[in-house]
Amino acid sequence: AVSTAPPVTSTVETQELRRLGPLADLVIQRLLVGDLVAASKFGTGKPIDDPVREQQVLDAVRAQAGPLGLDPEATVRFFQDQITANKIVQRGLFDRWTRHPGQAPTTRPDLNLIRQRLDELATRLLTELVSTKDIRKPGIACQVRLLVAQQVGAAQHRLDRLHRQALDTGVASIC
Ligand SMILES: C=C(O[C@@H]1C=C(C(=O)O)C=C[C@H]1O)C(=O)O
């Protein structure tokens, strides 16, 4: 007879391997918001880099990290990577839309609303950093989980080259 029960060990192992999945997914969600940021700025003369806003983002996560049991400086480094990743997306899209104006967005989303979304994602990222703290110690186990999470996430979200490149930066300090 053919067994219909799932192979228990491999299920547990699969779940184990996917433990960085939610964190990678949030990193992807944040860099996808970069598409909206780019659309809000493109053609307005507004620069991609906004050092004042970046400092606000980093100050906020630094303040939240300690009480959550996270290392403040490591947390700041992680969010610096998220900002760099976001700007990779923005620069890539600006470049694409300049070369192919037909692909440029025709509506301009409100940057203030987009920033609220980024603030919400920051809170969720911090929560996920806390729940994955024990498995993010440097080593092969973390790297394998990260590779799985990154590849699965990139496939699920159908990321193109530009967004995969940004994802590499976004996950750089996870392990
Ligand atoms: C996303 C923006 O663009 C850049 C990236 C930021 C980020 O990833 O948080 C912050 C400021 C800008 O340098 C923005 O202006 O809000």
Q: What is the pTM of this model?
A: 0.94
pLDDT higher than threshold 80 for residue 7: no
Burial 60-95 (b: 16+ CB within 10 A, else e): ebeeebeeeebeeeebbebbbbbbebbbbbbbbbbe
Provide the ipTM: 0.99
> How confident is the model at residue 117, as a pLDDT?
98
Closest CA to ligand 1's atom 10: 54
pLDDT higher than threshold 90 for residue 5: no
- Give the chain's mean pLDDT: 95
Residue 49 Cβ inside 6 Å of ligand 1? The answer reads yes
Closest CA to ligand 1's atom 16: 115
pLDDT higher than threshold 80 for residue 2: no
> How confident is the model at residue 8, as a pLDDT?
65
Q: Give the residue, out of 50, 76, 112, with the most ligand 1 atoms within 8 A of its beta carbon, to mutate for a pocket test.
A: 50
Residue 91 Cβ inside 6 Å of ligand 1? The answer reads no
Question: Which domains does the chain show, CATH number per domain?
Answer: 21-170 (1.20.59.10)
Convert the pLDDT of each residue in 73-130 to its tens digit. 999 999 999 999 999 999 999 999 999 999 999 999 999 999 999 999 999 999 999 9
